[in-house]
Structure 1
Amino acid sequence: MIKWVGAVIGFFIKGLGGALLGFFAGSVLDNLFGSKSGGGQSIFGDITRQSVSPADFELNLLSLCSIVIKADGQVSQREMDYVRQYFVGTYGKEKANAIFRTFNEVNKKREISAQRICTFLTHRTRYEVRLQLLHFLFGIAQADGSISNPEVSKLRQIAGYLKVGLRDFESIMAMFVKSADNSYKILDIQKSATDQEVKKAYRDMAKKYHPDRVNTQDEAIKKGAEEKFKEVQKAYETIQKERGIG
Protein backbone atom coordinates (compact mmCIF):
# COMPACT_ATOMS: atom_id res chain seq x y z
CA MET A 1 0.00 0.00 0.00
CA ILE A 2 2.81 2.42 0.91
CA LYS A 3 4.41 2.07 -2.53
CA TRP A 4 1.24 3.24 -4.29
CA VAL A 5 0.97 6.27 -1.98
CA GLY A 6 4.60 7.03 -2.80
CA ALA A 7 3.90 6.69 -6.51
CA VAL A 8 0.95 9.12 -6.35
CA ILE A 9 2.93 11.69 -4.35
CA GLY A 10 5.92 11.32 -6.67
CA PHE A 11 3.71 11.78 -9.73
CA PHE A 12 2.35 15.10 -8.50
CA ILE A 13 5.85 16.33 -7.63
CA LYS A 14 7.91 15.16 -10.63
CA GLY A 15 5.56 13.42 -13.04
CA LEU A 16 6.06 9.84 -14.20
CA GLY A 17 9.71 9.77 -13.17
CA GLY A 18 8.74 10.87 -9.67
CA ALA A 19 6.02 8.26 -9.56
CA LEU A 20 8.56 5.59 -10.38
CA LEU A 21 10.95 6.71 -7.66
CA GLY A 22 8.07 7.00 -5.21
CA PHE A 23 6.97 3.49 -6.06
CA PHE A 24 10.41 2.05 -5.37
CA ALA A 25 10.79 4.02 -2.14
CA GLY A 26 7.37 2.82 -1.01
CA SER A 27 8.29 -0.76 -1.93
CA VAL A 28 11.24 -0.58 0.44
CA LEU A 29 8.97 0.61 3.27
CA ASP A 30 6.45 -2.10 2.40
CA ASN A 31 9.23 -4.64 2.76
CA LEU A 32 10.41 -3.19 6.07
CA PHE A 33 6.94 -3.23 7.59
CA GLY A 34 5.98 -6.59 6.13
CA SER A 35 3.26 -5.32 3.82
CA LYS A 36 2.10 -7.53 1.00
CA SER A 37 1.28 -6.51 -2.54
CA GLY A 38 -2.45 -6.12 -2.85
CA GLY A 39 -4.86 -6.62 -5.68
CA GLY A 40 -4.96 -10.29 -6.40
CA GLN A 41 -3.55 -13.77 -6.08
CA SER A 42 0.17 -14.46 -6.30
CA ILE A 43 1.27 -15.36 -9.82
CA PHE A 44 4.06 -17.57 -8.47
CA GLY A 45 2.14 -20.21 -6.58
CA ASP A 46 1.61 -21.06 -2.93
CA ILE A 47 5.27 -21.64 -2.04
CA THR A 48 6.26 -17.98 -2.45
CA ARG A 49 6.80 -16.19 0.85
CA GLN A 50 4.84 -13.13 -0.20
CA SER A 51 2.64 -12.33 -3.17
CA VAL A 52 3.64 -10.06 -6.03
CA SER A 53 1.23 -8.58 -8.53
CA PRO A 54 1.90 -8.73 -12.30
CA ALA A 55 2.39 -4.94 -12.32
CA ASP A 56 5.04 -5.18 -9.59
CA PHE A 57 6.85 -7.93 -11.43
CA GLU A 58 6.82 -6.13 -14.79
CA LEU A 59 8.12 -2.90 -13.29
CA ASN A 60 11.00 -4.65 -11.55
CA LEU A 61 11.74 -6.73 -14.64
CA LEU A 62 11.96 -3.59 -16.76
CA SER A 63 14.28 -1.99 -14.24
CA LEU A 64 16.66 -4.95 -14.50
CA CYS A 65 16.42 -4.70 -18.30
CA SER A 66 17.60 -1.10 -18.13
CA ILE A 67 20.52 -2.06 -15.87
CA VAL A 68 21.70 -4.75 -18.29
CA ILE A 69 21.31 -2.48 -21.34
CA LYS A 70 23.47 0.20 -19.70
CA ALA A 71 26.03 -2.25 -18.27
CA ASP A 72 28.66 -1.66 -20.97
CA GLY A 73 28.29 2.12 -20.89
CA GLN A 74 26.20 2.48 -24.02
CA VAL A 75 22.54 2.00 -24.90
CA SER A 76 22.20 -0.45 -27.78
CA GLN A 77 19.20 0.05 -30.07
CA ARG A 78 19.21 -3.68 -30.81
CA GLU A 79 18.89 -4.47 -27.14
CA MET A 80 16.07 -1.98 -26.74
CA ASP A 81 14.34 -3.43 -29.81
CA TYR A 82 14.76 -6.91 -28.34
CA VAL A 83 12.89 -5.84 -25.22
CA ARG A 84 10.17 -4.14 -27.27
CA GLN A 85 9.65 -7.10 -29.61
CA TYR A 86 9.68 -9.56 -26.76
CA PHE A 87 7.03 -7.67 -24.82
CA VAL A 88 4.87 -7.12 -27.91
CA GLY A 89 4.95 -10.86 -28.60
CA THR A 90 4.25 -11.64 -24.96
CA TYR A 91 1.66 -9.07 -23.87
CA GLY A 92 0.23 -7.71 -27.13
CA LYS A 93 0.95 -4.36 -28.78
CA GLU A 94 -1.28 -2.12 -26.65
CA LYS A 95 -0.07 -3.35 -23.28
CA ALA A 96 3.52 -3.63 -24.50
CA ASN A 97 3.52 0.01 -25.61
CA ALA A 98 2.32 1.07 -22.17
CA ILE A 99 5.00 -1.07 -20.52
CA PHE A 100 7.70 0.27 -22.83
CA ARG A 101 6.80 3.87 -22.03
CA THR A 102 7.54 3.01 -18.42
CA PHE A 103 10.72 1.29 -19.54
CA ASN A 104 11.90 4.47 -21.24
CA GLU A 105 11.43 6.38 -18.00
CA VAL A 106 13.24 3.69 -16.01
CA ASN A 107 16.12 3.70 -18.49
CA LYS A 108 16.71 7.43 -17.94
CA LYS A 109 17.34 6.96 -14.22
CA ARG A 110 20.95 6.52 -13.14
CA GLU A 111 20.58 5.09 -9.68
CA ILE A 112 18.24 2.13 -9.82
CA SER A 113 19.43 -0.41 -7.27
CA ALA A 114 19.85 -3.90 -8.72
CA GLN A 115 20.36 -5.25 -5.22
CA ARG A 116 17.10 -3.80 -3.92
CA ILE A 117 15.11 -5.02 -6.92
CA CYS A 118 16.61 -8.52 -6.72
CA THR A 119 15.99 -8.71 -2.99
CA PHE A 120 12.35 -7.80 -3.63
CA LEU A 121 12.03 -10.54 -6.26
CA THR A 122 14.00 -13.14 -4.32
CA HIS A 123 11.63 -12.86 -1.37
CA ARG A 124 8.60 -13.33 -3.62
CA THR A 125 9.53 -15.80 -6.36
CA ARG A 126 10.51 -19.42 -6.67
CA TYR A 127 14.09 -20.30 -7.61
CA GLU A 128 12.98 -21.67 -11.00
CA VAL A 129 11.39 -18.32 -11.88
CA ARG A 130 14.61 -16.48 -11.04
CA LEU A 131 16.53 -18.83 -13.32
CA GLN A 132 14.19 -17.91 -16.20
CA LEU A 133 14.57 -14.24 -15.35
CA LEU A 134 18.36 -14.52 -15.60
CA HIS A 135 17.97 -16.35 -18.92
CA PHE A 136 15.84 -13.47 -20.22
CA LEU A 137 18.43 -10.90 -19.16
CA PHE A 138 21.18 -12.83 -20.94
CA GLY A 139 19.02 -12.71 -24.07
CA ILE A 140 18.92 -8.92 -23.86
CA ALA A 141 22.71 -8.69 -23.48
CA GLN A 142 23.19 -10.89 -26.55
CA ALA A 143 20.69 -8.98 -28.71
CA ASP A 144 23.41 -6.77 -30.23
CA GLY A 145 25.39 -9.81 -31.40
CA SER A 146 27.70 -10.44 -28.46
CA ILE A 147 27.89 -10.25 -24.69
CA SER A 148 30.63 -7.95 -23.42
CA ASN A 149 32.72 -8.54 -20.30
CA PRO A 150 30.99 -5.67 -18.43
CA GLU A 151 27.62 -7.24 -19.25
CA VAL A 152 28.79 -10.64 -17.99
CA SER A 153 30.04 -8.97 -14.79
CA LYS A 154 26.72 -7.20 -14.28
CA LEU A 155 24.74 -10.39 -14.95
CA ARG A 156 26.96 -12.27 -12.51
CA GLN A 157 26.25 -9.59 -9.91
CA ILE A 158 22.50 -9.77 -10.56
CA ALA A 159 22.63 -13.57 -10.30
CA GLY A 160 24.28 -13.21 -6.90
CA TYR A 161 21.59 -10.82 -5.72
CA LEU A 162 18.93 -13.27 -7.00
CA LYS A 163 20.61 -16.06 -4.98
CA VAL A 164 21.26 -18.06 -8.16
CA GLY A 165 23.99 -20.66 -7.63
CA LEU A 166 27.31 -20.35 -9.48
CA ARG A 167 26.86 -23.63 -11.36
CA ASP A 168 23.40 -22.61 -12.52
CA PHE A 169 24.79 -19.25 -13.62
CA GLU A 170 27.57 -20.94 -15.63
CA SER A 171 25.04 -23.30 -17.20
CA ILE A 172 22.81 -20.44 -18.35
CA MET A 173 25.77 -18.39 -19.57
CA ALA A 174 26.92 -21.35 -21.69
CA MET A 175 23.64 -21.10 -23.61
CA PHE A 176 24.71 -17.64 -24.82
CA VAL A 177 28.52 -17.50 -24.64
CA LYS A 178 29.76 -20.31 -26.89
CA SER A 179 32.86 -22.41 -26.27
CA ALA A 180 34.33 -25.75 -27.38
CA ASP A 181 32.76 -27.70 -24.53
CA ASN A 182 29.57 -25.63 -24.51
CA SER A 183 27.15 -28.56 -24.45
CA TYR A 184 28.85 -30.01 -21.38
CA LYS A 185 28.72 -26.68 -19.58
CA ILE A 186 24.98 -26.44 -20.23
CA LEU A 187 24.47 -29.87 -18.68
CA ASP A 188 26.82 -28.85 -15.83
CA ILE A 189 29.27 -31.76 -16.33
CA GLN A 190 32.89 -32.24 -17.36
CA LYS A 191 33.83 -33.39 -20.84
CA SER A 192 35.41 -36.46 -19.21
CA ALA A 193 32.01 -37.60 -17.86
CA THR A 194 30.91 -41.14 -18.69
CA ASP A 195 27.93 -41.83 -20.93
CA GLN A 196 25.89 -42.77 -17.88
CA GLU A 197 26.83 -39.51 -16.18
CA VAL A 198 25.80 -37.63 -19.31
CA LYS A 199 22.41 -39.34 -19.35
CA LYS A 200 21.89 -38.65 -15.64
CA ALA A 201 22.89 -34.99 -16.06
CA TYR A 202 20.41 -34.62 -18.90
CA ARG A 203 17.58 -36.16 -16.85
CA ASP A 204 18.39 -33.89 -13.91
CA MET A 205 18.57 -30.77 -16.08
CA ALA A 206 15.43 -31.63 -18.04
CA LYS A 207 13.56 -32.03 -14.77
CA LYS A 208 15.05 -28.87 -13.28
CA TYR A 209 14.37 -26.65 -16.29
CA HIS A 210 11.05 -28.10 -17.44
CA PRO A 211 8.58 -25.26 -18.11
CA ASP A 212 6.04 -26.87 -15.78
CA ARG A 213 8.41 -26.19 -12.87
CA VAL A 214 8.14 -22.43 -13.32
CA ASN A 215 4.51 -22.20 -12.11
CA THR A 216 3.85 -18.62 -13.20
CA GLN A 217 1.23 -16.79 -15.23
CA ASP A 218 3.80 -14.36 -16.64
CA GLU A 219 4.20 -15.21 -20.34
CA ALA A 220 7.69 -13.71 -20.64
CA ILE A 221 9.00 -16.07 -17.97
CA LYS A 222 7.13 -19.04 -19.48
CA LYS A 223 8.76 -18.42 -22.85
CA GLY A 224 12.16 -18.15 -21.22
CA ALA A 225 11.63 -21.53 -19.58
CA GLU A 226 10.71 -23.10 -22.91
CA GLU A 227 13.82 -21.64 -24.57
CA LYS A 228 16.12 -22.91 -21.84
CA PHE A 229 14.51 -26.36 -21.92
CA LYS A 230 15.19 -26.50 -25.67
CA GLU A 231 18.83 -25.53 -25.08
CA VAL A 232 19.20 -28.41 -22.61
CA GLN A 233 17.72 -30.82 -25.16
CA LYS A 234 19.96 -29.46 -27.91
CA ALA A 235 23.06 -29.84 -25.73
CA TYR A 236 22.22 -33.45 -24.98
CA GLU A 237 21.53 -34.22 -28.64
CA THR A 238 24.90 -32.70 -29.59
CA ILE A 239 26.73 -34.93 -27.09
CA GLN A 240 24.68 -37.93 -28.23
CA LYS A 241 25.87 -37.43 -31.82
CA GLU A 242 29.48 -36.89 -30.76
CA ARG A 243 29.57 -40.05 -28.67
CA GLY A 244 27.05 -42.20 -30.52
CA ILE A 245 24.93 -42.55 -27.42
CA GLY A 246 21.73 -44.46 -28.11
Structure 2
Amino acid sequence: MIKYIGAVVGYFLGRGFFGAVIGYFLGSAVDMFMDQGKKTGQSGSTGQRFKTVFEQATQQSVSPGDFELNLLSLASIVIKADGKVSQNELDYARQYFVRAYGKERANATFRTFNTVIKDREISATRICTYLNSRTRYEVRLQILHFLFGIAQADGQVSQPEVNVLGTIAGYFRINHQDFESIKNMFVKKADSAYKILEIDKSASNDEVKKAFRTMVKKYHPDKLMDMDEAYRAGAEEKFRNVQEAYEQIQKERGM
Protein backbone atom coordinates (compact mmCIF):
# COMPACT_ATOMS: atom_id res chain seq x y z
CA MET A 1 0.00 0.00 0.00
CA ILE A 2 2.82 2.42 0.86
CA LYS A 3 4.25 2.17 -2.65
CA TYR A 4 1.01 3.47 -4.17
CA ILE A 5 0.86 6.34 -1.70
CA GLY A 6 4.47 7.05 -2.57
CA ALA A 7 3.61 7.16 -6.28
CA VAL A 8 0.89 9.75 -5.72
CA VAL A 9 3.05 11.87 -3.43
CA GLY A 10 5.99 11.55 -5.80
CA TYR A 11 3.89 12.76 -8.68
CA PHE A 12 2.86 15.98 -6.95
CA LEU A 13 6.21 16.68 -5.30
CA GLY A 14 8.42 15.40 -8.12
CA ARG A 15 8.30 15.82 -11.86
CA GLY A 16 5.15 14.19 -13.05
CA PHE A 17 5.53 10.61 -14.20
CA PHE A 18 9.12 10.15 -13.07
CA GLY A 19 8.37 11.63 -9.67
CA ALA A 20 5.60 9.04 -9.40
CA VAL A 21 7.98 6.23 -10.39
CA ILE A 22 10.55 7.35 -7.80
CA GLY A 23 7.84 7.61 -5.13
CA TYR A 24 6.54 4.15 -6.07
CA PHE A 25 10.07 2.78 -5.99
CA LEU A 26 10.84 4.18 -2.52
CA GLY A 27 7.44 3.06 -1.22
CA SER A 28 8.21 -0.44 -2.50
CA ALA A 29 11.45 -0.42 -0.52
CA VAL A 30 9.54 0.52 2.63
CA ASP A 31 6.96 -2.22 1.97
CA MET A 32 9.76 -4.74 1.51
CA PHE A 33 11.35 -3.56 4.75
CA MET A 34 8.11 -3.98 6.68
CA ASP A 35 7.44 -7.41 5.19
CA GLN A 36 10.95 -8.56 5.98
CA GLY A 37 10.60 -7.32 9.55
CA LYS A 38 7.45 -9.41 9.99
CA LYS A 39 9.11 -12.52 8.58
CA THR A 40 12.26 -12.21 10.67
CA GLY A 41 10.53 -11.29 13.91
CA GLN A 42 12.23 -7.88 13.85
CA SER A 43 15.69 -9.45 14.30
CA GLY A 44 18.65 -7.10 13.83
CA SER A 45 18.66 -3.33 14.01
CA THR A 46 16.05 -1.31 12.13
CA GLY A 47 18.73 0.67 10.31
CA GLN A 48 20.55 -2.46 9.16
CA ARG A 49 17.34 -4.15 7.94
CA PHE A 50 16.31 -1.09 5.93
CA LYS A 51 19.82 -0.72 4.50
CA THR A 52 19.79 -4.32 3.28
CA VAL A 53 16.35 -4.05 1.64
CA PHE A 54 17.10 -0.68 0.06
CA GLU A 55 20.34 -1.96 -1.44
CA GLN A 56 18.46 -4.90 -2.94
CA ALA A 57 15.83 -2.58 -4.42
CA THR A 58 18.37 -0.23 -6.02
CA GLN A 59 20.40 -2.81 -7.93
CA GLN A 60 20.70 -2.30 -11.70
CA SER A 61 17.50 -4.09 -12.55
CA VAL A 62 13.89 -3.04 -12.90
CA SER A 63 11.75 -3.69 -9.84
CA PRO A 64 8.42 -5.36 -10.77
CA GLY A 65 6.25 -2.32 -10.06
CA ASP A 66 8.58 0.02 -11.91
CA PHE A 67 8.77 -2.25 -14.95
CA GLU A 68 5.01 -2.71 -15.08
CA LEU A 69 4.29 1.04 -14.91
CA ASN A 70 6.78 1.74 -17.69
CA LEU A 71 5.38 -1.06 -19.82
CA LEU A 72 1.80 0.13 -19.32
CA SER A 73 2.86 3.68 -20.17
CA LEU A 74 4.31 2.50 -23.50
CA ALA A 75 1.12 0.53 -24.12
CA SER A 76 -0.94 3.69 -23.60
CA ILE A 77 1.14 5.51 -26.22
CA VAL A 78 0.38 2.79 -28.78
CA ILE A 79 -3.32 2.68 -27.85
CA LYS A 80 -3.63 6.43 -28.44
CA ALA A 81 -1.49 6.45 -31.60
CA ASP A 82 -4.37 6.37 -34.11
CA GLY A 83 -6.38 9.02 -32.27
CA LYS A 84 -8.91 6.65 -30.74
CA VAL A 85 -8.97 4.36 -27.72
CA SER A 86 -10.11 0.86 -28.66
CA GLN A 87 -11.71 -1.30 -25.98
CA ASN A 88 -10.20 -4.36 -27.67
CA GLU A 89 -6.74 -2.88 -27.28
CA LEU A 90 -7.37 -2.02 -23.63
CA ASP A 91 -8.64 -5.56 -22.98
CA TYR A 92 -5.60 -7.05 -24.71
CA ALA A 93 -3.24 -5.05 -22.50
CA ARG A 94 -5.13 -5.93 -19.31
CA GLN A 95 -5.27 -9.65 -20.15
CA TYR A 96 -1.55 -9.63 -20.88
CA PHE A 97 -0.80 -8.07 -17.50
CA VAL A 98 -3.08 -10.55 -15.72
CA ARG A 99 -1.30 -13.49 -17.38
CA ALA A 100 2.11 -12.06 -16.56
CA TYR A 101 1.60 -10.76 -13.03
CA GLY A 102 -1.69 -12.14 -11.70
CA LYS A 103 -5.04 -10.38 -11.35
CA GLU A 104 -4.38 -8.57 -8.07
CA ARG A 105 -1.01 -7.18 -9.11
CA ALA A 106 -2.28 -6.25 -12.58
CA ASN A 107 -5.25 -4.38 -11.12
CA ALA A 108 -2.95 -2.51 -8.74
CA THR A 109 -0.77 -1.44 -11.66
CA PHE A 110 -3.76 -0.19 -13.64
CA ARG A 111 -5.10 1.70 -10.61
CA THR A 112 -1.80 3.46 -10.07
CA PHE A 113 -1.52 4.28 -13.77
CA ASN A 114 -5.08 5.63 -13.98
CA THR A 115 -4.67 7.69 -10.80
CA VAL A 116 -1.25 9.19 -11.42
CA ILE A 117 -0.10 8.83 -15.02
CA LYS A 118 -2.96 8.32 -17.46
CA ASP A 119 -3.83 11.95 -18.27
CA ARG A 120 -0.27 13.28 -18.22
CA GLU A 121 2.28 13.55 -20.99
CA ILE A 122 4.27 10.34 -21.24
CA SER A 123 7.76 10.42 -22.74
CA ALA A 124 8.60 7.31 -24.74
CA THR A 125 12.17 8.57 -25.07
CA ARG A 126 12.73 8.68 -21.32
CA ILE A 127 11.02 5.38 -20.65
CA CYS A 128 12.99 3.52 -23.33
CA THR A 129 16.27 5.13 -22.31
CA TYR A 130 15.62 4.10 -18.71
CA LEU A 131 14.77 0.50 -19.68
CA ASN A 132 17.65 0.07 -22.15
CA SER A 133 20.27 -0.24 -19.43
CA ARG A 134 18.08 -2.52 -17.35
CA THR A 135 16.76 -5.06 -19.85
CA ARG A 136 18.34 -7.47 -22.30
CA TYR A 137 17.87 -7.03 -26.05
CA GLU A 138 15.66 -10.16 -26.18
CA VAL A 139 13.33 -8.65 -23.58
CA ARG A 140 13.04 -5.41 -25.57
CA LEU A 141 12.16 -7.46 -28.65
CA GLN A 142 9.39 -9.11 -26.65
CA ILE A 143 8.13 -5.73 -25.44
CA LEU A 144 7.92 -4.61 -29.08
CA HIS A 145 6.05 -7.81 -29.95
CA PHE A 146 3.60 -7.13 -27.11
CA LEU A 147 3.04 -3.56 -28.33
CA PHE A 148 2.35 -4.79 -31.87
CA GLY A 149 -0.15 -7.22 -30.37
CA ILE A 150 -1.98 -4.30 -28.78
CA ALA A 151 -2.06 -2.42 -32.09
CA GLN A 152 -3.53 -5.44 -33.87
CA ALA A 153 -6.15 -6.17 -31.19
CA ASP A 154 -8.76 -4.03 -32.95
CA GLY A 155 -8.33 -5.96 -36.21
CA GLN A 156 -5.51 -4.12 -37.95
CA VAL A 157 -2.29 -2.21 -37.34
CA SER A 158 -2.77 1.31 -38.68
CA GLN A 159 0.03 3.36 -40.23
CA PRO A 160 0.09 5.84 -37.29
CA GLU A 161 0.56 2.85 -34.97
CA VAL A 162 3.38 1.49 -37.16
CA ASN A 163 5.04 4.91 -37.05
CA VAL A 164 4.84 5.09 -33.26
CA LEU A 165 6.09 1.51 -32.91
CA GLY A 166 8.98 2.30 -35.23
CA THR A 167 9.89 5.27 -33.06
CA ILE A 168 9.77 3.15 -29.89
CA ALA A 169 11.91 0.49 -31.59
CA GLY A 170 14.47 3.17 -32.39
CA TYR A 171 14.55 4.34 -28.78
CA PHE A 172 14.99 0.69 -27.76
CA ARG A 173 17.96 0.40 -30.16
CA ILE A 174 16.26 -2.42 -32.02
CA ASN A 175 17.83 -2.78 -35.44
CA HIS A 176 15.78 -2.28 -38.61
CA GLN A 177 15.77 -5.94 -39.64
CA ASP A 178 14.46 -7.09 -36.27
CA PHE A 179 11.78 -4.40 -36.37
CA GLU A 180 10.69 -5.43 -39.87
CA SER A 181 10.67 -9.09 -38.84
CA ILE A 182 8.30 -8.47 -35.93
CA LYS A 183 6.19 -6.00 -37.91
CA ASN A 184 5.59 -8.57 -40.65
CA MET A 185 4.28 -11.03 -38.07
CA PHE A 186 1.35 -8.62 -37.66
CA VAL A 187 1.20 -6.67 -40.95
CA LYS A 188 0.96 -9.33 -43.65
CA LYS A 189 2.20 -8.66 -47.18
CA ALA A 190 3.21 -10.81 -50.14
CA ASP A 191 6.83 -11.00 -48.97
CA SER A 192 6.13 -11.12 -45.22
CA ALA A 193 7.53 -14.65 -44.85
CA TYR A 194 10.88 -13.44 -46.18
CA LYS A 195 10.80 -10.30 -44.02
CA ILE A 196 10.16 -12.42 -40.92
CA LEU A 197 13.28 -14.46 -41.73
CA GLU A 198 15.14 -11.18 -42.44
CA ILE A 199 16.07 -12.08 -46.03
CA ASP A 200 15.16 -10.91 -49.54
CA LYS A 201 12.86 -12.85 -51.83
CA SER A 202 15.85 -13.41 -54.13
CA ALA A 203 17.69 -15.44 -51.46
CA SER A 204 18.86 -18.92 -52.47
CA ASN A 205 17.46 -22.05 -50.84
CA ASP A 206 20.66 -22.42 -48.81
CA GLU A 207 20.33 -18.81 -47.62
CA VAL A 208 16.72 -19.46 -46.63
CA LYS A 209 17.78 -22.48 -44.55
CA LYS A 210 20.59 -20.54 -42.93
CA ALA A 211 18.25 -17.62 -42.13
CA PHE A 212 15.76 -20.00 -40.54
CA ARG A 213 18.43 -21.50 -38.28
CA THR A 214 19.57 -18.01 -37.27
CA MET A 215 16.03 -16.89 -36.44
CA VAL A 216 15.35 -20.05 -34.43
CA LYS A 217 18.36 -19.23 -32.25
CA LYS A 218 17.31 -15.57 -31.90
CA TYR A 219 13.66 -16.20 -31.00
CA HIS A 220 13.90 -19.49 -29.14
CA PRO A 221 11.62 -19.33 -26.04
CA ASP A 222 14.48 -20.55 -23.83
CA LYS A 223 15.97 -17.06 -24.07
CA LEU A 224 13.11 -15.77 -21.89
CA MET A 225 12.84 -18.65 -19.43
CA ASP A 226 13.57 -16.23 -16.58
CA MET A 227 10.66 -13.95 -17.53
CA ASP A 228 6.97 -14.09 -16.61
CA GLU A 229 4.52 -16.44 -18.32
CA ALA A 230 3.15 -13.83 -20.73
CA TYR A 231 6.63 -13.08 -22.04
CA ARG A 232 7.39 -16.76 -22.55
CA ALA A 233 4.06 -17.15 -24.37
CA GLY A 234 4.97 -14.21 -26.60
CA ALA A 235 8.36 -15.77 -27.36
CA GLU A 236 6.63 -19.02 -28.32
CA GLU A 237 4.31 -17.07 -30.62
CA LYS A 238 7.26 -15.39 -32.36
CA PHE A 239 8.92 -18.80 -32.65
CA ARG A 240 5.79 -20.22 -34.33
CA ASN A 241 5.69 -17.28 -36.73
CA VAL A 242 9.26 -18.01 -37.78
CA GLN A 243 8.43 -21.67 -38.31
CA GLU A 244 5.29 -20.84 -40.31
CA ALA A 245 7.21 -18.36 -42.48
CA TYR A 246 9.84 -21.00 -43.24
CA GLU A 247 7.20 -23.63 -44.03
CA GLN A 248 5.43 -21.18 -46.35
CA ILE A 249 8.64 -20.53 -48.29
CA GLN A 250 9.38 -24.25 -48.42
CA LYS A 251 5.94 -24.88 -49.90
CA GLU A 252 6.24 -22.07 -52.45
CA ARG A 253 9.66 -23.27 -53.61
CA GLY A 254 9.04 -26.99 -53.32
CA MET A 255 11.97 -27.35 -50.97
**What range is the shorter-chain TM-score in?**
0.7 to 0.9
2:209 aligned to which of 193, 199, 202: 199
Change (3 A) 1:104 1:8: closer
Q: Distance in 1 between matches of 2:19 and 2:246?
A: 47
* 8 Å Cα contact 1:90/1:220 also seen in 2: yes
Aligned length in residues: 224
1:23 and 2:20 aligned: yes
Question: Deviation of residue 25 (structure 1)?
Answer: 6.2
Task: Indicate the structure with greater helix content.
Answer: 2
* 8 Å Cα contact 1:9/1:19 also seen in 2: no
2:174 aligned to which of 158, 161, 164: 164
Change (3 A) 1:152 1:106: farther
Residue 57 of structure 1 corresponds to 67
Amino acid at match of 1:121: L
Q: Distance in 2 between matches of 1:106 and 1:237?
A: 47
Question: Deviation of residue 91 (structure 1)?
Answer: 2.5
Q: Distance in 2 between matches of 1:67 and 1:89?
A: 21
Q: Distance in 1 between matches of 2:73 and 2:55?
A: 21
Residue 78 of structure 1 corresponds to 88
User: Greater shift after overlay, 81-90 or 109-118?
Assistant: 81-90
Amino acid at match of 1:235: A
1:121 and 2:131 aligned: yes
Show the 5 A alignment for 1:171-186: 171-186=181-196
Question: Deviation of residue 155 (structure 1)?
Answer: 0.3
Residue 235 of structure 1 corresponds to 245
Structure 1, unaligned runs of 5 or more: 28-36, 43-49
* 8 Å Cα contact 1:7/1:19 also seen in 2: no
Q: Distance in 2 between matches of 1:21 and 1:41?
A: 16
Residue 122 of structure 2 corresponds to 112
* 8 Å Cα contact 1:63/1:106 also seen in 2: no
Residue 218 of structure 1 corresponds to 228
Q: Distance in 1 between matches of 2:119 and 2:55?
A: 26
User: Greater shift after overlay, 158-167 or 108-117?
Assistant: 108-117
Question: Deviation of residue 211 (structure 1)?
Answer: 1.4
Query: Identity over the aligned pairs, expressed in percent?
Result: 66
* 8 Å Cα contact 1:6/1:22 also seen in 2: no
Residue 107 of structure 2 corresponds to 97
> CA deviation digits over 1:117-139, x for unaligned, max 9?
00011111111111111000000
* 8 Å Cα contact 1:72/1:150 also seen in 2: yes
Cα RMSD between the aligned structures? 2.8
* 8 Å Cα contact 1:174/1:185 also seen in 2: yes
Amino acid at match of 2:10: G
Show the 5 A alignment for 1:122-161: 122-161=132-171
Greater C-alpha Rg = 2
User: Greater shift after overlay, 160-169 or 86-95?
Assistant: 86-95
Q: Distance in 1 between matches of 2:190 and 2:56?
A: 49
Residue 10 of structure 2 corresponds to 10
Q: Distance in 1 between matches of 2:192 and 2:58?
A: 40
User: Greater shift after overlay, 221-230 or 153-162?
Assistant: 221-230
Change (3 A) 1:223 1:105: farther
Structure 2, unaligned runs of 5 or more: 25-53
Change (3 A) 1:64 1:106: farther
> CA deviation digits over 1:41-100, x for unaligned, max 9?
97xxxxxxx222122111110110011101111111110011112222333322222222
TM-score normalized with structure 1 length: 0.81
User: Greater shift after overlay, 101-110 or 62-71?
Assistant: 101-110
